[in-house]
């Protein structure tokens, strides 16, 4: 199940320290890759 977040929600989640932002970006990339892998299984 994919959950779409609008820009404001993403900014609230990622807004904070730069480390939090970078961690969020890594998680998003990992989740996107996971979804792609599931699509191809």
Residue 29: per-residue pLDDT: 92
Residue 10: per-residue pLDDT: 63
Whether 21 and 14 have beta carbons less than 8 Å apart is answered as yes
For the chain, the structural domain boundaries read 17-41
For 28, other C-beta atoms within 10 Å of its C-beta total: 14
pLDDT digits (tens, 9 = 90+) for 1-41: 566 756 776 666 555 556 666 787 888 899 899 888 888 87
Residue 6: per-residue pLDDT: 65
Whether 35 and 25 have beta carbons less than 8 Å apart is answered as no
């Amino acid at each position: 199940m994919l959950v779409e977040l609008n820009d404001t929600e993403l900014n609230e989640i990622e807004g904070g320290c730069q480390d939090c932002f970078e961690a969020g970006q890594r998680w998003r990339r990992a989740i996107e890759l996971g979804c792609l892998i599931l699509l191809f299984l």
